[in-house]
Amino acid sequence: DGGITQSPKYLFRKEGQNVTLSCEQNLNHDAMYWYRQDPGQGLRLIYYSQIVNDFQKGDIAEGYSVSREKKESFPLTVTSAQKNPTAFYLCASSGTGGAYEQYFGPGTRLTVT
């Protein structure tokens, strides 16, 4: 089955620690995205990547970092510089042709205390 996996589903960290969220896709998509969603809110774009070894900042990149060393993988690191890291994080991917619809993973809920 093709799709996007995110792990873990729930993640707990202490304040001041960096944490890396995993995102893997087997859809052969070139583009991948990270979004943040706060309770009752919409989606905010953190980072996106259109091709391996290249990525761009989204609207709220401060305090986050990413890498794109493989087409299938786009991990997100939430650093200690992110002031309010507790949120629901969604990874998505899309092809670079057609309508560019995005396909989403199940999300990771990060709680920092």
Partner 1 sequence: GNSVTQMEGPVTLSEEAFLTINCTYTATGYPSLFWYVQYPGEGLQLLLKATKADDKGSNKGFEATYRKETTSFHLEKGSVQVSDSAVYFCALSYDSNYQLIWGAGTKLIIKP
Binding interface with partner 1 (CB under 8 A): 4, 6, 31, 33, 40-43, 45, 48, 50, 56, 90, 92, 94, 96, 98-107, 109
Residue 38 beta carbon to partner 1: minimum distance, rounded to whole angstroms: 12
Q: Which is nearer to partner 1, 20 or 56 (CB)?
A: 56
Residue 39 tokens read as: 């309770």
**Residue 7, number of CB atoms within 10 A of its CB:** 12
Q: Tell me the residue ranges of DSSP E strands in 27-105.
A: 31-37, 43-51, 54-57, 64-66, 76-78, 87-94, 103-104
- Identity of the residue, 18 or 56, whose beta carbon is nearer to partner 1 in the bound complex: 56
Residue 85 vs 105, nearer CB to partner 1? 105
